[in-house]
Protein backbone atom coordinates (compact mmCIF):
# COMPACT_ATOMS: atom_id res chain seq x y z
CA UNK A 1 0.00 0.00 0.00
CA UNK A 2 1.33 3.44 -0.87
CA UNK A 3 0.08 6.62 0.69
CA UNK A 4 1.17 10.20 0.38
CA UNK A 5 0.54 13.15 2.67
CA UNK A 6 1.98 16.49 3.60
CA UNK A 7 3.46 16.56 7.11
CA UNK A 8 5.45 19.35 8.73
CA UNK A 9 5.46 21.18 5.39
CA UNK A 10 7.02 18.28 3.49
CA UNK A 11 5.38 15.89 1.06
CA UNK A 12 5.86 12.37 2.42
CA UNK A 13 5.35 9.05 0.68
CA UNK A 14 5.20 5.83 2.67
CA UNK A 15 5.02 2.37 1.19
CA UNK A 16 3.92 -0.29 3.62
CA UNK A 17 3.14 -3.96 3.46
CA UNK A 18 0.67 -5.98 5.49
CA UNK A 19 2.91 -8.50 7.22
CA UNK A 20 0.39 -10.23 9.50
CA UNK A 21 -3.33 -10.73 9.08
CA UNK A 22 -5.89 -12.58 11.18
CA UNK A 23 -9.36 -11.61 10.02
CA UNK A 24 -11.35 -10.06 11.65
CA UNK A 25 -9.21 -9.53 14.74
CA UNK A 26 -5.80 -8.22 13.78
CA UNK A 27 -3.43 -6.96 11.12
CA UNK A 28 0.01 -5.35 11.01
CA UNK A 29 1.43 -3.01 8.42
CA UNK A 30 5.15 -2.27 8.25
CA UNK A 31 7.05 0.31 6.24
CA UNK A 32 8.90 -0.93 3.19
CA UNK A 33 10.00 2.51 2.04
CA UNK A 34 9.59 5.97 3.52
CA UNK A 35 10.95 8.69 5.77
CA UNK A 36 11.31 6.60 8.94
CA UNK A 37 14.11 4.28 9.92
CA UNK A 38 11.36 1.80 10.86
CA UNK A 39 7.59 1.92 11.16
CA UNK A 40 5.24 -0.82 12.45
CA UNK A 41 1.53 -0.38 13.11
CA UNK A 42 -0.63 -3.07 14.74
CA UNK A 43 -4.41 -2.84 14.41
CA UNK A 44 -6.33 -4.93 16.96
CA UNK A 45 -10.12 -5.25 16.81
CA UNK A 46 -12.22 -6.49 19.74
CA UNK A 47 -15.98 -6.88 20.04
CA UNK A 48 -17.35 -4.49 22.64
CA UNK A 49 -21.03 -4.16 23.56
CA UNK A 50 -22.76 -3.11 20.35
CA UNK A 51 -19.61 -2.13 18.45
CA UNK A 52 -15.93 -2.72 17.92
CA UNK A 53 -12.97 -1.47 19.92
CA UNK A 54 -9.92 -0.69 17.77
CA UNK A 55 -6.54 -0.68 19.49
CA UNK A 56 -3.50 0.80 17.74
CA UNK A 57 0.02 -0.22 18.67
CA UNK A 58 2.39 2.05 16.87
CA UNK A 59 6.17 1.81 16.86
CA UNK A 60 8.47 3.94 14.75
CA UNK A 61 12.03 5.12 14.74
CA UNK A 62 13.18 8.37 13.20
CA UNK A 63 16.20 8.31 10.86
CA UNK A 64 19.50 10.08 11.46
CA UNK A 65 20.70 8.44 14.68
CA UNK A 66 21.23 10.95 17.50
CA UNK A 67 19.55 13.81 15.60
CA UNK A 68 16.53 11.56 14.94
CA UNK A 69 16.24 10.64 18.62
CA UNK A 70 16.37 14.33 19.54
CA UNK A 71 13.65 15.19 16.99
CA UNK A 72 11.56 12.31 18.34
CA UNK A 73 11.88 13.53 21.93
CA UNK A 74 11.18 17.17 21.04
CA UNK A 75 8.08 16.76 18.90
CA UNK A 76 7.79 13.75 16.57
CA UNK A 77 6.31 11.33 19.13
CA UNK A 78 3.65 13.87 20.14
CA UNK A 79 2.96 14.74 16.48
CA UNK A 80 2.49 11.08 15.47
CA UNK A 81 0.27 10.38 18.51
CA UNK A 82 -1.95 13.35 17.62
CA UNK A 83 -2.07 12.16 14.00
CA UNK A 84 -3.36 8.73 15.12
CA UNK A 85 -5.93 10.29 17.46
CA UNK A 86 -7.21 12.54 14.65
CA UNK A 87 -7.40 9.64 12.20
CA UNK A 88 -9.27 7.51 14.73
CA UNK A 89 -11.80 10.27 15.41
CA UNK A 90 -12.51 10.43 11.66
CA UNK A 91 -12.90 6.65 11.48
CA UNK A 92 -15.29 6.67 14.43
Mean pLDDT, all residues of the chain:
86
Q: Which residue has the higher pLDDT, 62 or 56?
A: 56
Checking if the pLDDT of 64 tops 80, the result is no
Residue 62: which of 39, 83, 78 has the closest Cα? 39
- Convert the pLDDT of each residue in 76-92 to its tens digit: 788 788 888 888 888 87
DSSP secondary structure letters along 56-86: EEEEEE-SSHHHHHHHIIIIIHHHHHHHHHH
d(CA 30, CA 59): 10
- For Cα atoms 36, 32, 67, give the angle at the middle one, nearest 5 degrees: 15
pTM of the model: 0.76
What is the arithmetic mean of pLDDT over 37-52? 91
The per-residue pLDDT for 76 is 73
Checking if the pLDDT of 69 tops 80, the result is no
Q: Give me the residue spans of the domains in the chain.
A: 2-91
Amino acid sequence: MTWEAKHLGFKQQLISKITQFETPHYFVDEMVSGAFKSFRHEHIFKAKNDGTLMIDKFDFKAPFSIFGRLVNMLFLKRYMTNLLHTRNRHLK
